[in-house]
Structure 1
Amino acid sequence: MAKVNVCLKRTFTFFNLLFAIVGGLIIGLALLSQTLSRRNGVQELEGRTIGLITLYIMGSITMMIAILGAYGAHRENRGALIAFLVFMVIGSLMMLKTGVSTAISRPQVENVLEEKFRSLLPLDQSAQSTQNIINSLQETFQCCGLFSYKDWGKEIPSSCDCNSEQEMEGKCQTVQYQVIHMIYYTLYHPTCFPIIMEYVAMVYNILLAVVFSLATLALLGMMLSSMIIHQMRQQGVRPTMVLTIPAIFSQQPPKYQELYNSPA
């Protein structure tokens, strides 16, 4: 079996350990996002389930590839290392494509979300599940309406109500609302859409950081695995044997000649 340089093998093992940690962090991030979403009551937001499933799959695949690379280096298994190299090539191309497309689409997200949310207005006439989500957002982030308290039409929910303590902190506004009689409400002053966009921007930043970090690790893995495979291939080549002819079989001229007198 070909022996791989010990320093290179240890470096590759450390890389796979780091790769596995990244995979575990991705899974942990998905779990944290799922827990916070349930706590804040936004588990029904569109696209959330797809995003969580993507994170779980990405983290699991990352850990499995790291285990494959560590096994190939430890056993000096060329087949496992070649499979690891193929996964690194495919993964780096996918991560780069995903990162570039995500960075390009990021400026368009705000307009798409604004158009989507405005289609829900007025909120008091939207589906009950939508009203529940907006009420949970308003209670969590202490905001009222997506773009204005008027988004609720004729019925402003209690989740917009602002108490005296919050009023002293400058988070409230007093508005007059006239349906039949003049009614005054003390409501949260901030609206929810800018707060939602802050969280969306944070998610995009995290996604871009994860994608380009994985792309960088994939390129590094390609380099290390290629070096190990090349070293195994070079050490597996048998040396060429050169046959030499012993000196005893070589023809050499005699060292002397016998002198004698020829007959007359």
Structure 2
Amino acid sequence: MGKINGCLKCLFIFFNVLFAIAGCLLIFGAVKSTAYSHQLSAVGTPSLGWGWVFAIGVLGISCLGIYAGCSEKELALKIFAGFMGVGMVIMLIFGIIMAVTRNKIKHSFDSASSEISKPFMEEEGLRALLEELQKSVQCCGVVGASDWGDQIPQSCECRSGYRGPFGMSECKSKPQGSSGPDQIYKQTCSGFIFAWFDLIFQIAMGFFFAFAVTAFMGLLVSLLMIHQVRRHDMSGGASIAMKGY
């Protein structure tokens, strides 16, 4: 008979296997995101290095949990419980960092600062994405048509009376001294761009806070398993002593 309740042990190992798989998927996602890490950090998002640390941490701690559950060793369970306690605090910190970073980026977009448009203008890939966005949502520039300098692209062209997928497009004349279409979209793209970032940050915040709750539950379960192991060892030791007597 094992030291730990069979159902509790199976449930503990099962969830650690799921998180180990999640850790592998996070590592795969980090590998795929490496190509875009420079562009994302340019607009104020956290470094991708933290993503690697988190993904490897999830995989490593999950493997430790699987070993601790299978071996039923008190030391391994104590180490796992310690990681759960630390992980819970770290997840809460990451969730708060995501919230603060989101508010910081929102303030940059709301203030229509020219600084927020520099990464899009300097990176060729982001410039291409911005042009595609301008065509699809009928907007021009991140904070204004002036982001393009004196050469406004054709993707900013606005045709009077044209009704796109987001409603009737409002047009205005191009800035004086600039080349390009005579009529351009009045609306800027900052609101649409921030909507993307806002969705990403909301998902990230939910992800981190959910992991914090999960780590708390893992801490409680591991403490319960430690209690069961200790009780089994103490009752076993007493039984041996009585037989020897």
TM-score (norm 2): 0.76
Secondary structure, aligned partner of 2:3? coil
Per the alignment, residue 66 of structure 1 pairs with 62
**Identity in percent:** 29
Which residue pairs with 1:262 in the alignment? none
1-side partners of 2:231 and 2:178: how far apart? 90
- 1:117–1:146: 8 Å Cα contact kept in structure 2? no
Distance 1:33 1:171, change over 3 A: farther
Question: Which of 183, 186, 197 matches 1:200?
Answer: 197
- Alignment length, in residue pairs? 233
Q: Which has the larger radius of gyration?
A: 1
Structure 2 portions without partners, runs of 5+: none
Query: What is the CA distance between 1:148 and its match in structure 2?
Result: 2.1
* Structure 1 CA distance for aligned equivalents of residues 155 and 181 of structure 2: 16
User: Of 71, 85, 93, which residue of structure 1 is paired with 2:89?
Assistant: 93
2:207 aligned to which of 210, 217, 236: 210
d(CA) in 2 for partners of 1:242 and 1:24?
A: 50
2:19 corresponds to: 19
Give the conservation status (yes or no) of the 8 Å contact 2:109–2:190. no
In structure 2, the partner of 1:260 is: none
Q: Which moved more, 1:170-179 or 1:144-153?
A: 170-179
| Higher helix residue share | 2
- Structure 1 residue 136, shift from structure 2 partner: 2.0
Task: Assess if the C-alpha contact under 8 Å between 2:39 and 2:123 holds in 1.
Answer: no
- Aligned partner of 1:229 in structure 2 is 226
Matched, 1:175 2:167: no
Q: Which runs of 5 or more structure 1 residues have no equivalent in the other structure?
A: 244-264
The 2-side partners of 1:134 and 1:42 are apart by 8
Q: Match for 1:136: what amino acid?
A: A
Q: Distance in 2 between matches of 1:34 and 1:201?
A: 21
- What one-letter code is carried by the residue in structure 2 that aligns with 1:95? M
Structure 2 residue aligned with 1:56, among 48, 52, 77? Answer: 52
SS in 2 for 1:145: coil
* Residues 137 and 192 in structure 1, CA contact (< 8 A), matched pair in contact too: no
SS at match of 1:215: helix
AA at the equivalent of 2:238: P
Counterpart amino acid of residue 210 in structure 1: F
Structure 2 contact 140–185 (Cα < 8 Å) conserved: yes
Q: Contact 1:177–1:184 at 8 Å: present in 2 too?
A: no
Question: What do the CA deviations read for 1:204-251 (whole angstroms, capped 9, x no partner)?
Answer: 1011111111111111111111111111111111116569xxxxxxxx
After superposition, the Cα gap between the structure-2 partners of 1:87 and 1:116, relative to the gap in structure 1 and judged at 3 Å, is farther
Q: SS in structure 2 opposite 1:187?
A: strand
Residue 42 of structure 2 corresponds to 45
Q: Partners of 1:168 and 1:7 in 2: how far apart?
A: 61
